[in-house]
């Protein structure tokens, strides 16, 4: 790539394809600049040190470099793939447990998620949509979803944290998820 600045207009998914096909380090740099700070920020939710979060973010980005050729931009969102890798790296390296996946890496091709929108617009849309979707939940529903995704708490841990009966925690997560799926229905 002769003009790295031209990459700023290309979607993340297309950048991944450039990494996969040409081992393009300029494209990889663009992905790194965007995702590494966000992956690290997500990992810092789990009460690990700054250095550990950075080490794990590094491993996630290396996995992206290694497995970029598995990615199908017409069917997958790279942010979801990276979220999954970051979650599993944390569980593997910090909790010292395995986190079995449903399918091999190429299962991202089974996700129907075409995305050709301009990157900046897409990013703002994503942030706006999740905020709007969360705003459609009650305070109690927001709480159980946040404790699930930001603290990785189990149902019984959420029950203990909130002093809610276990059955109530489960039904609130279930209802909240159904509402979020409906609100984000065309987000794929």
Partner 1 sequence: MKTHGIIPDEWIVSYASGALSEAHALVVATHCHFHPELQQKLDDAENIGAMFMVSNQPAQVSSRLFEEIITEIDSMSTTTELPSDQEGIPYPLAEYLNHKSLDQLKWRMMGPGLSQVRLWTGPNDECLWLLKAKGGAKIPSHDHKELEFTLVLQGSYHVGDEHYRPGLLEIADDNTKNHTPIIDPGEDCICLVVTEAPIKIHSFMGRLAQPFIGL
User: Segment 16-75, which members bind partner 1 (CB under 8 A)?
Assistant: 25, 29, 32, 35-42, 44, 50, 53-54, 57-58, 61-62, 65-66
Half-sphere exposure of 81 (CA within 13 A, CB side): 29
Least separation in angstroms between residue 85's CB and partner 1 is 11
Nearer to partner 1, 17 or 64 (CB): 64
Nearer to partner 1, 10 or 126 (CB): 126
Query: Quick one: tokens of 82?
Result: 């990276």
Span 83-102, contacts to partner 1 by CB under 8 A: 83-84, 86-88, 90-91, 97-102
Least separation in angstroms between residue 37's CB and partner 1 is 3
Least separation in angstroms between residue 115's CB and partner 1 is 11
- 152 conformational bin, left if phi > 0, alpha if psi -120 to 50, beta if neither: left
C-alpha distances in Å from residue 132, one per residue of 41, 49, 78, 125, 170: 21, 31, 22, 10, 23
* Alpha-carbon span 164 to 72, nearest angstrom: 42
Span 118-177, contacts to partner 1 by CB under 8 A: 123, 126-127, 129-131, 145, 148-150, 152-155, 157, 169-171, 173-174, 177
* Alpha-carbon span 44 to 52, nearest angstrom: 9
């Amino acid at each position: 790539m002769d003009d790295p600045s031209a990459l700023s207009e290309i979607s993340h998914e297309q950048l991944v394809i450039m990494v996969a096909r040409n081992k393009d380090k300029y494209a990889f740099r663009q992905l790194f600049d965007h995702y590494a700070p966000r992956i690290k920020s997500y990992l810092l939710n789990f009460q690990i040190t700054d250095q550990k979060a950075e080490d794990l973010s590094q491993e996630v980005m290396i996995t992206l470099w290694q497995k970029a050729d598995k990615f199908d931009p017409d069917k997958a969102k790279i942010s979801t793939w990276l979220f999954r890798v970051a979650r599993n790296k944390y569980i593997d390296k910090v909790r010292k447990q395995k986190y079995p996946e449903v399918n091999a890496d190429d299962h991202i091709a089974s996700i129907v998620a075409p995305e050709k929108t301009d990157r900046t617009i897409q990013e703002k849309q994503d942030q706006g949509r999740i905020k709007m979707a969360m705003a459609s939940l009650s305070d109690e529903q927001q709480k159980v979803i946040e404790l699930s995704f930001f603290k990785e708490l189990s149902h019984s841990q959420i029950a203990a944290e909130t002093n809610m009966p276990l059955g109530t925690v489960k039904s609130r997560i279930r209802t909240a998820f159904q509402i979020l799926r409906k609100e984000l229905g065309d987000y794929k």
